[in-house]
């Protein structure tokens, strides 16, 4: 026979206790405070500073750094915080479309707590060109959530960081240098900064004043030979000249620079954990042009728009004035996660989708080129 | 104005299950989710060549086709089981506790579990057999209660499930002591307590035993492509059944009907007003009554204020550039404690500076191909039992994150005599702030309302009808009647979904 559980001296007392559980809970619930329930919580408030989401911002001033590069300093509607090296989207309304692009933040994290953020942008495309030619103090912008993992990670990275910056790729490192200088970050930063000529260097004066035992900056000019500057491209020899022992490499620059440096770095036999690269936006692809019909479902609305085989699905949607989510534009963050109903496509760069996304037919429009007519479900921005 | 029979707020595990139930019941349903992905915590994320599981350690009560658990039965009914590829977890757990010098590896299967316990703690067999006998009765009693929608006949309860009633009002420790279980056996058996998040003086025995027996008899399962696969399978099913889903869309208000104070509609973040008389909220009642409804009855405010938030979550994710064999990581899941005195341990878990508890998973030990050859994927989770993270200022946040991660890595390295630190290729850390941001839970709570003595599983189930105080408003997820955890959240969605179908039918 099954044993009979008993805890009290008399078994019926166990039963009575059970019977009383509802009464006990009822009593507790009735004894709760009658003050209104909180509308917010401290941890959630801090989270709102760390991950503010979209923030309205106004342009405070513009500084010209070189012939083709300007820094846009904005005041955000709320304080926020980020990790030096991270990017955020900067966007505004141009004509009938909302346009946004991801840029590395060039200001220090500490300043963001005072609602100040800066982006340093080289004029090279539609939005950067618009900024360069039109942006002026007082203009309204939207700044996105600080994102990305291109930052120093104390637990895994070597305390010695070798920063390899190509051209405008200096911006995340300028933020890092400021963060090291003001004590926000604690590591040794050696920046090898490659540009064509001295005139193309942005932040040279600022970087020179930040130099310290923890911050070294080496300028490397490819198209100019000058006293006090290294000449040529960023290379294994240059790294060897300025750094020894264990180090973490962080690279930010154009794809051609990555391809070259990947080969140069072989000489150091570094494990993958010692090399970090900031991803670049997926651009156009070079195929025979064709225009497909792209059907986009957003909520209960349906749009059919033209989509060029050369451009990403995201770009086609933006061209058509659809307000859709975008963040990294490099296929990795998953913010534009959309459901494919039908159609053929090719992914630009490596496939960074989650396993189940491939299985159930989800795409990241920011890195997807159409190979046929397509139909997709996209969340609203 | 758009009109739906029901709106489900939040596509977490509970909301997803509820949506399918509503659709199966013939309702026209809108599911709104503020994030761009479904699942809430049931998701995954990529870092370099690793795809990390965001939260699921192991799915309880799923079992296999031949030995199906209740969750598998539910998934079968919902029509999602076969959309997902499943794996089985090899062992129940390995528990290591410093104070008692325990290092025990426990297997699945009642016989194997009892035999292993007898090996570690000679003389424990009889009490362990009694434990499983009680647990089996509890499971049967719960199955009976569910089959009659919570309206159990007291006479049947007493005649068929007498032991359930007799032990039903006691804590884990009270019952195990009554069974005269040797202390060391209790310590080893109690290892799962942090999965429920209340210490064993507080935690209801029926709740704990019901979880343990499901693990031990049915094993634990895991979807191959992480829990994101489950969440997308649910979405797929919802679309097949004709449900509408809006991602990146937050429900900001629940409108009340002027006549009876019940649900009248929902307002979305872009101002859209949806007309509906039924809402299933897959979020905290604290949020619904604190900011989503204008008129909340005073007794509801009191009842909500009376409840206590359970653990606030913290997880560390590591992608390592050596294989588990090379690292010497032998098992799938570990519980590391300072002490098996869960009351003392619970207190230590209140503060960032004293919390060293971790539930740690090496997914490769269940699924060797989960990461590239020669690599290892691990995740470490703990709970904070008070709001110490509320004291962390934004400017100290990253350092605090690192401090706690350091501590977790060091603890694992010391207890398992291994080196992780020199092999970290990818690292990611989620704190209460992360959980607050992703799912909006107050203070970064991941376990709903704590399974306190008075607010445990049994009285919540018994009071389901009574807790439903606003016409048309029901809850799903970790804050509701089944408490927290994956299985519980799915069940809560099942229950609230079916109840709402009934509510709609009664309205005609």
**What is the distance between the alpha carbons of residues B482 and B237, in angstroms, rounded to a whole number?**
23
pLDDT of residue B453: 87
- The pLDDT score that the predictor gives to residue B147 is 84
A15, A29, A332, A360: which to substitute to probe chain B, counting the most B Cβ within 10 Å?
A29
Residue-level pLDDT at A201: 97
CA separation for the pair B378, B364 (Å, rounded): 8
Among residues B44, B103, B468, which one has the least CA distance to residue B263? Answer: B468
**DSSP letters spanning A311-326:** S-HHHHHHHTT-----
Distance in angstroms between the alpha carbons of the first and the last residue of chain A? 65
Q: Pick from A156, A163, A164: which is nearest to A180 by CA? A: A163
- CB distance A164 to A234 below 8 Å: yes
d(CA A269, CA A246): 11
Pairing of strands A368-370, A301-308: unpaired
Contact B487, B207 (CB under 8 A): no
Render pLDDT for A348-371 as a digit per residue (tens, 0 to 9): 999 999 999 999 999 999 999 999
Q: What is the DSSP letter of B471?
A: T
Model pLDDT, residue A346: 98
Domain A160-277 = CATH 3.40.50.10470: no
Return mean pLDDT, chain B: 97
* Distance (Å) from the alpha carbon of A104 to chain B's nearest alpha carbon: 19
Q: Tell me the C-alpha distance between B350 and B474, whole Å.
A: 31
Mutation choice for B interface testing from A78, A146, A155, A364 by most B CBs within 10 A: A155
Q: Determine the 3-state secondary structure of B138 from DSSP.
A: helix
- For A281, list phi and psi in degrees, rounded to 5: -60, 145
User: Hey, is B335 helix, strand or coil?
Assistant: strand
DSSP A337: -
The closest of A356, A201, A374, A173 to A293, measured between CA atoms, is: A374
- Strands A116-122 vs A69-76: parallel, antiparallel or unpaired: antiparallel
HSE of B394, CA atoms in CB hemisphere, 13 A: 21
CB B134 within 8 A of CB B163: yes
Domain assignments of chain A as residue spans, ordered by start: 46-143, 160-277, 291-377
Cα dihedral B140, B58, B345, B283 sign: negative
- In A71-108, which positions are buried (b, 16+ CB within 10 angstroms) versus exposed (e)? bbbbebeebbbbbbbbbbbbbbeeeebbbbbbbbbbbb
Query: What is the pLDDT, as a whole number, of residue A98?
Result: 84
Rounded mean pLDDT, A306-334: 95
Collapsing DSSP to helix, strand or coil, A32 comes out as: coil
Q: Out of B225, B249, B290, whose CB is closest to A38?
A: B290
Residue B348 near chain A (CB below 8 Å):
no
pLDDT at A143: 98
Q: Does position A173 have pLDDT exceeding 70, yes or no? A: yes
Pairing of strands B358-362, B29-32: unpaired
Cα angle at A193 between A190 and A199, to 5 degrees?
140
Q: Is the confidence at residue A2, as pLDDT, over 80? A: no
Q: Which tens digit of pLDDT belongs to each residue from A183-238?
A: 999 999 999 999 999 999 999 999 999 999 999 999 999 999 999 999 999 999 99
State how far the Cα of B351 lies from the Cα of B354, in Å rounded to an integer.
5
pLDDT at position A10? 87
pLDDT at position A1 over 60: no
Reading the block at residue B354, the tokens are 């004293």
Alpha-carbon distance B258 to B250, whole Å? 24
Give residue B184's pLDDT. 98
* CATH code assigned to A291-377: 3.10.20.30
User: For testing the chain B interface, which of A27, A42, A43 should be mutated: the one with the most B CBs within 10 Å?
Assistant: A43
**Mean pLDDT across the stretch A272-288?**
95
Contacts of A327 in chain B (CB under 8 A): none
CA separation for the pair B250, B350 (Å, rounded): 32
Can you identify the CATH homologous superfamily of domain A46-143? Translation factors (2.40.30.10)
Contacts of A213 (CB under 8 A, 6+ apart): none
Neighbours of B154 (CB within 10 A): 11
pLDDT at B145: 87
Q: For the segment B196-236, what is each residue's pLDDT rounded down to a tens digit? A: 999 999 999 999 999 999 999 999 999 999 999 999 999 99
Nearest to B130 by CA among A7, A12, A11: A7
Instruction: Give the residues of chain B that fall short of pLDDT 50.
Output: none
Which of B168, B296, B424 is nearest residue A18 as measured by Cβ atoms?
Answer: B168
The helix, strand and coil proportions of chain A, stated in percent and rounded to the nearest 5, come to 30, 30, 40
From the CA of A194, how many Å to the nearest CA of chain B?
26
Taking only the tens place, the pLDDT of each residue in A224-270 is 999 999 999 999 999 999 999 999 999 999 999 999 999 999 999 99
ipTM of the complex: 0.96
- At residue B68, the pLDDT reads 96
Are A370 and A309 spatial neighbours (Cβ–Cβ below 8 Å)?
A: yes
Quick one: pLDDT at residue B508?
81
Q: Which residues pair with A248 in a beta bridge?
A: A161
Q: Could you tell me which residues are beta bridge partners of residue A100?
A: A91
Name the one residue in this structure whose structure tokens are 């006998």. Answer: B133
pLDDT at B151: 84
């Amino acid at each position: 026979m099954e044993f009979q559980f008993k805890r009290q001296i008399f078994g019926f007392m166990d039963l009575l206790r059970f019977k009383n559980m509802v009464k006990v809970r009822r009593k507790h619930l009735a004894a709760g405070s009658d003050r209104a329930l909180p509308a917010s919580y401290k941890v959630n408030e801090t989270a709102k500073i760390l991950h503010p989401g979209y923030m309205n911002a106004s342009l405070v001033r513009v500084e010209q750094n070189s012939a083709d590069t300007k820094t846009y300093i904005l005041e955000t509607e709320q304080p926020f915080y980020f990790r030096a090296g991270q990017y955020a989207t900067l966007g505004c309304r141009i004509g009938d479309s909302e346009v946004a692009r991801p840029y590395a933040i060039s200001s220090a994290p500490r300043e963001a707590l005072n609602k100040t953020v800066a982006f340093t942008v080289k004029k090279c495309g539609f939005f950067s060109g618009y900024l360069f030619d039109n942006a002026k103090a007082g203009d309204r912008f939207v700044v996105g959530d600080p994102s990305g993992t291109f930052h120093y990670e104390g637990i895994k990275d070597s305390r010695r960081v070798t920063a390899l910056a190509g051209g405008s790729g200096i911006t995340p490192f300028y933020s890092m240098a400021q963060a090291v200088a003001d004590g926000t970050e604690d590591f040794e930063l050696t920046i090898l900064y490659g540009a064509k000529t001295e005139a193309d260097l942005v932040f040279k004066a600022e970087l020179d004043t930040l130099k310290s035992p923890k911050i070294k900056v080496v300028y490397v000019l490819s198209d100019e030979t000058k006293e006090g500057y290294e000449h040529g491209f960023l290379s294994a020899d240059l790294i060897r000249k300025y750094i020894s022992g264990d180090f973490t490499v962080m690279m930010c620059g154009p794809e051609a620079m990555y391809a070259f440096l990947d080969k140069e770095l072989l000489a150091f036999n570094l494990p993958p954990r010692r090399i970090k690269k900031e991803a670049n936006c997926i651009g156009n692809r070079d195929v025979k042009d064709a225009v497909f019909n792209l059907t986009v479902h957003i909520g209960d609305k349906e749009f059919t728009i033209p989509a060029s085989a050369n451009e990403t699905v995201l770009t086609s949607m933006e061209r058509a004035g659809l307000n859709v989510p975008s963040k990294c534009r490099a296929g990795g963050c998953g913010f534009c996660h959309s459901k494919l109903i039908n159609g053929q496509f090719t992914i630009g760069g490596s496939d960074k989708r989650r396993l189940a996304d491939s299985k159930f037919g989800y795409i990241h429009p920011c890195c997807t080129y159409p190979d046929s007519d397509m139909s997709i479900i996209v969340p609203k921005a | 104005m758009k009109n739906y029979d029901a709106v489900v707020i939040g596509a977490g595990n509970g909301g997803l299950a509820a949506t399918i139930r509503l659709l199966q019941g013939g309702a026209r349903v809108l599911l709104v989710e503020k994030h761009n992905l479904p699942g809430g915590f049931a998701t995954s994320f990529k870092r370099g060549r690793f795809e990390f599981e965001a939260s699921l350690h192991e799915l309880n009560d799923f079992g296999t086709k031949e030995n199906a658990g209740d969750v598998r039965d539910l998934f079968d009914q919902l029509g999602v089981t076969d959309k997902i590829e499943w794996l089985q977890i090899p062992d129940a757990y390995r528990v290591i506790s410093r104070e008692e010098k325990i290092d025990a590896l426990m297997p699945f299967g009642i016989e194997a579990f009892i035999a292993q316990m007898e090996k570690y703690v000679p003389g424990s067999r009889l009490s362990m057999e009694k434990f499983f006998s009680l647990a089996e009765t509890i499971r049967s009693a719960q199955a009976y209660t569910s089959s009659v929608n919570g309206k159990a006949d007291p006479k049947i309860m007493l005649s068929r499930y007498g032991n359930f009633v007799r032990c039903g009002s006691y804590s884990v420790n009270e019952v195990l002591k009554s069974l005269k279980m040797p202390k060391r056996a209790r310590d080893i058996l109690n290892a799962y307590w942090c999965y429920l998040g209340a210490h064993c003086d507080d935690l209801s025995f029926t709740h704990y035993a019901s979880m343990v027996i499901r693990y031990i008899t049915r094993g634990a399962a895991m979807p191959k492509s992480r829990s994101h696969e489950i969440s997308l399978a649910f979405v797929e099913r919802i679309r097949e059944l004709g449900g509408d889903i809006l991602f990146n869309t937050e429900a900001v208000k629940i409108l009340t009907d002027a006549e009876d104070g019940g649900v009248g509609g929902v307002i979305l973040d872009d101002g859209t007003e949806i007309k509906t008389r039924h809402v299933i909220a897959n979020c905290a009642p604290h949020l619904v009554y604190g900011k989503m409804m204008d008129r909340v009855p005073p007794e509801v405010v009191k009842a909500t204020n009376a409840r206590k938030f359970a653990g606030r979550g913290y997880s560390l994710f590591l992608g390592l550039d050596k294989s588990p064999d090379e690292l010497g990581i032998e098992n799938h899941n570990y519980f590391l404690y300072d002490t098996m005195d869960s009351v003392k341990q619970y207190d230590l878990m209140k503060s960032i500076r004293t919390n060293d508890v971790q539930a740690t998973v090496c997914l490769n030990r269940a699924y060797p191909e989960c990461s590239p050859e020669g690599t290892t994927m691990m995740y470490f989770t703990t709970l904070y039992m008070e709001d110490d993270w509320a004291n962390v200022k934004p400017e100290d946040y990253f350092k605090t994150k690192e401090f706690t991660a350091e501590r977790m890595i060091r603890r694992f390295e010391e207890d398992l005599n291994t080196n992780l630190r020199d092999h970290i290729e990818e690292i990611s850390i989620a704190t209460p702030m992360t959980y607050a941001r992703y799912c909006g839970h107050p203070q970064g709570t991941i376990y709903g309302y704590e399974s306190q003595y008075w607010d445990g599983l049994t009285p919540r189930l018994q009071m389901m009808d009574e807790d439903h105080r606003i016409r048309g408003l029901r809850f799903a997820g970790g804050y509701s009647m089944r408490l927290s955890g994956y299985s519980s959240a799915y069940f809560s969605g099942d229950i609230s979904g079916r109840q709402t179908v009934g509510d709609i039918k009664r309205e005609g």
